[in-house]
Amino acid sequence: MTFDRSIKIAPSILSADFADFGREICAIEAQGADWVHVDVMDGHFVPNLTFGPPAVAAVRHHVTTVMDVHLMIAPVDPHIDAYATAGADILTAHVEAGPHIHRTLQAIRAAGIKAGVALNPGTPAEAVAHLLDLTDLVCVMTVNPGFGGQKFIDMSDKVRALRAMIGDRPVHIEIDGGIDPATAPLVTAAGADVLVAGSAVFRGGSADAPAAYGDNIRAIRAAATG
Ligand code: DX5
Ligand code: ZN
């Protein structure tokens, strides 16, 4: 993975057909997805429950771009090696998930993969001020994590603050939640470069009829890049 700040669309497979991840991933990549976003939820840190390392490892076989794994779990540290072994290219942990996020980021990098840190809507940008040399990606949540299809919460001021704090460090700013062609330009104008989108990518299509995925991805990208 080489670093750049071009706009990247990362469909979340939370909105895909869970019984058909292989064909769904093949479809979104063929239709222009830059990364594949994988939402891991534990029914504890967030109210919803998705899947664990064996399912992530199975998904990995179908990803030819970048597998971006978003851990909405607590604790994180006992599970890092399992998700690294499952094939995550980037492993993102929440700053709110425990008292030792610094240690968590060190452990993710020690596993040989990129480390991301996510911020819930109520958490200020300053929470990552001392982590920027340990991280490859800051994920700004624009919904309260747990479910797809929620309403966008505008965090543009937080994104602007992060963009200034990051300076010329090779750190991505990712936005997760409620991204569609209307909201994408607000966050890219503020400095974001990775846009996660679940419902806005998968709506209207299927693995058998994937053209809508392409239309949806192009619409978000066109809006985001002005
Ligand atoms: C929310 C997840 C998101 C979610 C985004 O907890 O982290 O990745 O799937 O879904 P949309 O784009 O529908 O808000
Ligand atoms: Zn996510």
Q: What is the pLDDT of residue 1?
A: 82
Q: What is the pLDDT of residue 86?
A: 98
| 176 in active site | yes
Does residue 84 line the site of ligand 1, with CB under 6 A?
Answer: no
Q: What is the pLDDT of residue 173?
A: 99
- The Cα-based distances of 15 to 1, 50, 173, 176, 201 in angstroms read 25, 11, 22, 13, 8
Helix axes 211-225, 21-30, angle to 10 degrees: 50
Q: What is the mean pLDDT of the chain?
A: 98
Dist. CA 201 → ligand 1 center (Å): 11
Give the model's confidence band at 198: pLDDT under 50 very low, under 70 low, under 90 confident, else very high: very high
Q: Which of 219, 187, 192 is nearest to 203 (CA)?
A: 219
Average pLDDT over residues 92-109: 98
Enumerate the β-bridge partners of residue 49: 42
For ligand 1, what atom is nearest to the CA of residue 141? Answer: 7
Closest C-alpha residue for ligand 1 atom 4: 148
Does residue 42 line the site of ligand 1, with CB under 6 A?
Answer: no
Q: What is the pLDDT of residue 226?
A: 86
Q: Is 146 left (phi over 0), alpha (psi -120 to 50) or beta?
A: left
Dist. CA 141 → ligand 1 center (Å): 9
How buried is 73 (Cβ within 10 angstroms: 0-12 exposed, 13-18 middle, 19+ buried)?
Answer: buried
Dist. CA 146 → ligand 1 center (Å): 8
Ligand index nearest the alpha carbon of residue 203: 1
Give the model's confidence band at 50: pLDDT under 50 very low, under 70 low, under 90 confident, else very high: very high
Give the model's confidence band at 187: pLDDT under 50 very low, under 70 low, under 90 confident, else very high: very high
Lowest mean pLDDT among 1-5, 138-142, 153-157: 1-5
Per-residue pLDDT for 159 more than 90?
A: yes
Q: What distance separates the 2 farthest-apart alpha carbons in the chain?
A: 46
If one looks up domain 8-225 in CATH, what number appears? 3.20.20.70
Domain boundaries, the chain: 8-225
Give the model's confidence band at 48: pLDDT under 50 very low, under 70 low, under 90 confident, else very high: very high
Q: What is the pLDDT of residue 23?
A: 98
Encode burial over 39-60: b for 16+ CB neighbours within 10 A, e otherwise.
bbbbeebbeeebbbbeebeebb
Per-residue pLDDT for 203 more than 90?
A: yes
Does residue 70 line the site of ligand 1, with CB under 6 A?
Answer: yes
